[in-house]
Structure 1
Amino acid sequence: MNTRRSIAIIAAALIASVSLGAAGASAAPPTATNATAVVHWNEVAANTLAAVPGPNGGAPPAYQINMAMTQGAVYDAVTAIGPKQYQPYVLKQRFGAKASIEAAVATAAYDVVHALVSTAPEIAPFPGRGGLLTTLDAQYAASVDAIAESSFKKQGIAAGHAAADAMLQARQGDGRFGPSQWVRDPRAGHWSPLLNAMGQEILDPTPWVGGVEPFLVESATQFRSAPPLALDSPEYAAEVNEVQMIGRATGSSRTEAQTYVAQWWQWAPILAWNEVARQLIVANELSAADSARLLAMQNLSGADALITCWADKYYYDFWRPWNAIPRADEDGNGGTTAEPGWTALLTAPYPDHPSGHNCNDGAHAAVLRMFFGDVVAGGFHMTSTSAALPAGAQRVRTFDTFSQPLSELIDARIWAGLHFRYADVEGQRLGVNVAQYGAAHYFQSVGH
């Protein structure tokens, strides 16, 4: 499957998501309540949860689950106040029409994030936990202290507590930090971990994610990706040969620009896509209700995309290029050639199929398209936090459409030697499918 065909598949799927959004997920006209608190606490939550060590819940799939819990609670807190615009997620209780939305937002976000950080299991050392919580406490105090004392402030705080409590209760026993989903299989076609300098296996810090109860979809298998290409097929041989040449660490046919793009994309997409959402909320002057809805749709869809993706990764257990290329004489395919010692530009500690980055980006971008369309007037910027970028490299880039970063990401993961092309394409398709389902079944306008 060539690049143009890959992009066409994803574009068609995303166009479908736009149609769905127009029917059931478009933003309502702004109300008098602006989105300042929603935007601020999204940024606080994103930055705080990103600081949790990977095995303790800070690795991208677990981090996205934590953001989903936070934004779902914020959505419920806002939705519970004033005229009922949208169906709640888990909170059924209603609060006074004049309750402070700012207090509700701050309290809901603070309660969930504080609970997640304070109860995160210390699988890896977490010396910064105390400082992180102290900073979070100060941020919450600053938010609520800025609101004039009144019964409306108290009602807003009560709404926030209720929304957070409902979310935390709903996620009890949901499979977080459960058993690993990986079953070791030495046969050709199956993933095996790389070794570190001390000869130890480099393993997934959150191998339990595929066993977590989804937020929106019915099960982690509802939108299972198509299986990897057959090892003996000509399509598989073409994909191996592509990544073998361009994805290698040394002697690659990559251009300097392609190397930069591959390195630029080596970061957790949760931070970047929430940043994009905040930009567009401000630029389009969305109300608090519509902003909370957008961020909930985005992050709950993103979480379900990664839960589904991780379930698929360990279901298929498909090998990475650095497994497949040195062992190509075991794949039964005359179109591939074994190259002992082949290494990729970048690596990751879990199976290939489907691409986790593409699953997550596909879901986030699909929701953003539902609200804003594909072409964004004035564009939007994305900031890479990649540790793979050399010092002084440009980190902030601007895009005019959501199609641009999505099509680039498919190629970037191949240029990095991280994935076969089909894993990228299927990842984005999975993300779009999950986001479409979420928009069709949750967050509906009252009376829809």
Structure 2
Amino acid sequence: MLATLKKHIETNLPFLLNKKLLLATSGGLDSMVMAHLFKNLQFDIAIAHCNFQLRGVDSFKDQKFVQDFAEENEIPVNITQFDTQAFAADYKLSTQVAARDLRYNWFYELLEEEGYDYVLTAHHADDNLETFLINLSRGTGLEGLTGIPEENGSIVRPLLHFTRAEILEYAKENNITWREDASNASDKYLRNKIRHHVVPLLQEINPNFMEAFQKTQSYLQESAALVEDASIMVYQQVAKQEEDSITFDLNQLKKLPNYNAYLYQWLSEFGFTAWNDVYDLVDAVSGKQIFASNFRLLKNRDSLILSKILVEDEVGTYFIDKEQQEISIPIKITFKSVANPAFESNKIIFVDGDKLQYPLELKRWQKGDNFQPFGMGGKSKKLSKFFKDEKLSLLEKEQCWLLWSANTLVWITGLRQDERFKITENTTNILKIELE
């Protein structure tokens, strides 16, 4: 196993060579074998152990076992303790999810603070199979069947190609000691039920089941790579990515066979789960939207617009004094007195500075707001009608800031100036206002 792992690293994980590695070590069979292997391969390693305080005195025995091992082998060790149950209760998480979040957050802190390059965990082929079966039992897409990734950023799982049986055999051959977790024998958790009852039955049906599974998963990973390549190519034809949003052209999308599969591929990473609602949005009326935790998908005429959910500004209204020549929050606007106007774009307006009353106010639009559009001879128009005529999406309307003077609209920033503040032949104080 040692020689096989050495060759696997040199061939498939060469980026681990000559790096500082942090080994996640629980004290169980898998992590103790991993520590033994990487020590014998003479890597620059340190150990990280989390005491989740979930098993009473046994949790502290695990901690001491790992600490003693590290000291005996002169390996640097990092140990922390978590009140996992309290954390789970505070954040309304299951104990397993809470432990995972605490563990990985701490690992990332150690990477940054102590200068380690990668965190290694001892997941193996049996873990991969169990994860596959769990996902399959719950219903999943292709990504849920491709298994635990061998590398995910700074997290690397170098034992994924070894089975639990191979790891156990290596431990016995090399007299490696480990701590048994009594909870592994319980069927309380779904993973244990699959490990104790489902996997043995599959191996009874086919003694070479693990080998067959690994081959199948390799094919699934190749298929996933093909899907990803196709998804990227089609995305470039259908999607337009802007600073704050992504717009999908429905006319182009509907030309594709099974376009729902592309939507799933593009949107799943943003937290959407109500897929029937997502698919129905394609033919929904303009203005309809659905939400994920932090994102929303809006139907706007012949497009779908993906954007982050805007957090309401705590301030709401931003005041601008007469002396200010520039503001940068919530948007960047400059104010400058000039001798002559030079109309360049909608991002610049020229107003009669003597007509302004300070402080000016910058705020979002509200229903009922109206103004006198520049160039329309003083006729009043509701902003809702103006936005509709300009074919602005709901997202664009929400992102729009209005500049006010004494409850009179001066400028729909970047779109239209109000007639009442325009310069005339009698203007002596020309103020240039520019949105950058």
TM-score (norm. length: structure 1):
0.21
Give the helix-richer structure, 1 or 2. 1
TM-score, normalisation: structure 2: 0.21
- Which structure has the higher relative contact order (CA within 8 Å, separation 6+)? 1
Is the strand fraction higher in 1 or 2?
A: 2
Asked which structure has the greater CA Rg, the reply is 2
